[in-house]
Chains A and B, each alone.
Chain A
Amino acid sequence: MLADLGFGLMVLTFVTAIFSAVAAVVGVKKKDPRWIESSRRGMILQLPLVSLVVLVLLYLLVNNHYEVKYVYSVTSLSMPLYLKLTALWGGQAGSLLFWAWLLSIFTTSVMLRNWERDKEFLPWVVVVTSLTMVFFLSLNIFFENPFIRWWSTIGGETAAMFKPVGAVLINPGDGTGLNPLLRHPGMIIHPPMLYLGFVAFIIPFAFAVAALITGRTDDRWIRITRRWTLWAWLFLSIGLVLGARWAYDVLGWGGYWGWDPVEIAAFMPWLTGTAFLHSVMIQEKRGMLKQWNMLLIILTYDLVIFGTFLTRSGVLSSVHAFAQSAIGPMFFSFIGLTFIVSVGLLMHRWNELKSENPMTSVLSREALFLLNNLLFMGILIVCFWGVIFPLISELATGQKVTVGPPFYERATAPLFASLMVLMALAPLAAWGHSTIKTLGKAIWKPALLAVVIPVVVLFAGIRNFAALIGFFLVALVIFVTIYEIWRGSMARHKKHKEGLLTSLMKLVARNRRRYGGYIIHISMVLMAIGILGIEIFQTQTQGTIPQGSSLTLDNYTVTFDSVAQFDTAGGRNVTRAVLSVYEDGKFVGQVFPRRDYYYESQQPMTIPGLRSNLKDDLYVILVDWQPISAVGATFKIYKNPLVNWLWIGAIVFIAGMFIAAWPDNKPIKQEIRRSRMVQVPGTVK
């Protein structure tokens, strides 16, 4: 009965979303604000409705209602409460519903803002957000219903929403449980973060479409959605980093990013989102790059849907499986339709979106931002083409191909390096006009300092050219950024005669977006240090050794001390090895790689033993496809130099984002008093 209630509420939300879209359009056509107000209230109503749907599903998940197919597939009796709750997004049907719920939270927040200044935007924002809601709910209602139940019929078992004729409801008594790979803390929080990022980008897109339809091609829509864009980008970035950390911790291949199409699917909207985040500054300050900004947000929206589609539709396993699946063609059609309509609107307003100021200097700040857009689009094209080419090949020739890491790394490395050059140049470039001379004058000091780094690295014995360039660029960005912050602080310190630290804090407080952005740039290059370290200098070894023996990798020796096997209360069989780690002959600690076998899902999982410091990670896996015992166990050892700078950079990134997103200090109000009239002798009062 609860499942019926949940389904019924879902259908009601779906109908409400359709009503909102229709009412908004009717309101515009009839120029009747009552219809538009009704559409706004319809949007707000969706939040309590879809929240109830989610609550019903959560109740079913927590209370072991295994007659519901979704509950059966993602939970089990042995799972703790918190995992049963997070199983809401553990499977396809639940995660689509979760997506819709997040969208309703954001759209309600938007609907509750003051629309007095922006009445013409409202109906179109309602149309875009409600049609997106209609799409996701239709996927749940018609294709991936989280409330379908198990029935026993004459023909056998089946899953359906409503009782088939002569059928009896089945309760299997227990479920298959959540995929063990998804029980890691990183994986619990990664989908919500990613979805928060995806969904939050819907809002600036909705306003962009509203601006195109109404002809309000100034930067009003950007100013309204600035915070949405920042938060969307923050969540998407954190989601990507969490996914990388999860891969590092549980996938057991010593890396954090494999250029897997599912990873790239989430990365692509981040690329256009980052370009958009930068490019809108130019529109706000100089009235330029308006066409770019529209294009970038349209691409971001469609890549968000495309990313959700790639991870959910099965298209990556086979293009033919996709065509036969129910959900694939729906996604494909929605993306195609929204892209065509959005680009059509953009073409319609193309001339109105021309830049207000010409770009005359190739080294001006605006020109460098334009180059920034080009580079991000370049990386996007590499990623997009690499993901879809195997599908094209299968369709055209029937032959599957793999486009793997060597393709992506070779193509994107120079583009990422160029972005780092821009991170160093752009803060020093002037608006309107810069020359090589002026830029050179600004950059020579940090550049000279930065050259020291690769020289030191060279003297340390590292000859890898890519690494030397990479470390130089990292140092250049850090020194330029610190130099800029220092110059600003010093100027303020001299002018206001306040302490240097006070000057710095007040400088940041007065322009949080700029200085928060600088800190984010530093965080990006800190992450680049980690990436350079692990990608260029990773070493590995594998060997089968008996208890008491050792394996050596570079300056590390790892000795197999013992192994134990035991069952846990959570329905796992754990095989846990203990190894002692020696660095340059000195004992530095122990690591405990594990193999966990989950009885109910019959799935193994390897958890590496990790010894981490700023210099490197020693990452030890118990290879579980070989026999494991004291007589012999197979270990694979990775040495990952500098990898922890990746995670440190991520933490600095979050700090930078909070600074960038925090409102600037309000202007100080000053009371102006009317002065007394002073009578001048000889004048009339």
Chain B
Amino acid sequence: MKRFPWVLLIAVLVLMGWVGKVNAQQPTPSDDEVNAIASQLFCPVCENTPLDVCPTQACAQWRDEIRLRLAQGWNEDQIKDYFAKSYGIRVLAEPPRQGLNWLVYIVPPVAFIAGAFILFRAFRSWRALSKQSDGQEDLNINQNESDPYLERLEKELKERG
């Protein structure tokens, strides 16, 4: 019975040490760690405002939520998923690659390649036309060899457009 207080004291000291160690293993995440994730998210309410620079009280609370999750050992992807599920995918800096959102990523390169292809085809037909007309010009030159004045006239007319 006399030992009981000592046992209790030792147990409390051991418990305090363990809690302290747990807390020491999970220091409060710094502003930089919070901002590193917040800068990749957008305010769910304000228009096109990244979460790390949004000055509203709501955004301050959301940044505190990021801090809490980091303290709980969550990683960046888990926190971003959590925000997307809680507040909608508009909080993400880009639409997730699923469903209709694929169009965001596909349309611009496809349009660019289509444009480049059209130009390539046009260029090839110009070259073919040019080769034909070079041949025709050679023929004409042979036929007009005796008329240098006509040649000069045609050249000047061509230059004037």
Contact = CB atoms under 8 A, between A and B. Distances in A.
Interface stretch (A200-208, A453-461, A538-546): A538-546
Contacts of A329: none
Contact of B35 (A356, A382, A393, A542): A542
Contacts of B130: 358, 360
Interface string B13-55: 0000000000000000011100100000010000110101101
A251 B119 CA distance: 43
B149 to A, nearest CB: 23
A317 interface: yes
Interface residues of A, number: 52
Contacts of B148: none
Nearest to A635: B31
A316 B50 CA distance: 16
B12 interface: no
A404 B92 CA distance: 8
A385 B104 contact: yes
B50 A253 contact: yes
Contacts of A392: 103
Interface in A372-423: 374, 377-378, 381-382, 385-386, 389-390, 392-393, 396-397, 399-407, 411
B89 A542 contact: no
Interface string B119-161: 1000100110110010000000000000000000000000001
A407 B50 CA distance: 15
Contacts of A260: 48
Contact of B112 (A251, A378, A407): A378
B28 to A, nearest CB: 11
Contact of A389 (B52, B53, B59, B103): B103
Interface string B86-126: 00111111110001110111011101100110010001001
Contacts of A542: 31-32, 35
A610 interface: no
Nearest to B104: A389
A352 interface: no
A258 interface: yes
B32 A358 contact: no
* Most chain A CB inside 10 Å of its own CB: which residue of B31, B91, B116: B31
Contact of A407 (B30, B94, B111): B94
B107 A402 contact: no
A393 B95 contact: yes
A566 interface: no
A485 interface: no
Contact of A261 (B30, B42, B48, B109): B48
Contact of A385 (B94, B99, B108, B116): B108
A604 B55 contact: yes
B93 A405 contact: yes
A360 B108 CA distance: 28
A393 B108 contact: no
B126 A402 contact: no
A296 interface: no
A260 B53 CA distance: 14
A296 B81 CA distance: 42
A541 B32 contact: yes
Given A381-B112, A386-B104, A543-B31, A358 B127 contact: yes
A429 to B, nearest CB: 15
Given A358-B130, A542-B32, A544-B31, A407 B104 contact: yes
Given A358-B127, A374-B119, A403 B161 contact: no
Nearest to B120: A362
A218 interface: yes
B10 interface: no
Nearest to B54: A625
B60 interface: yes
A393 B101 contact: yes
A540 B53 CA distance: 12
A97 interface: no
Contact of A253 (B53, B57, B92): B53
A393 B90 CA distance: 11
A382 B59 CA distance: 29
Nearest to B93: A404
Interface in A534-582: 540-544
A57 interface: no
B48 A360 contact: no
A360 B90 CA distance: 48
A502 to B, nearest CB: 32
Nearest to B39: A540
A441 to B, nearest CB: 23
Contacts of A359: 123, 126
Nearest to A606: B55
Contacts of B89: 399, 401
B104 A258 contact: no
Interface string B52-69: 110111011000000000
Contacts of A427: none
A402 B95 contact: yes
Contacts of B90: 390, 399-402
27 contacts: A316-B47, A358-B129, A359-B123, A359-B126, A360-B130, A374-B119, A377-B115, A378-B115, A385-B104, A397-B99, A399-B89, A401-B104, A402-B42, A402-B91, A402-B92, A403-B94, A404-B42, A404-B93, A406-B93, A407-B93, A407-B105, A540-B32, A540-B35, A542-B32, A606-B55, A634-B31, A636-B31
Interface of A: 218, 251-253, 258, 260-261, 287, 316-317, 355-356, 358-360, 362, 367, 370, 374, 377-378, 381-382, 385-386, 389-390, 392-393, 396-397, 399-407, 411, 540-544, 604, 606, 624-625, 634, 636
Given A374-B115, A397-B99, A401-B104, 4 more contacts: A400-B88, A400-B90, A401-B92, A403-B104
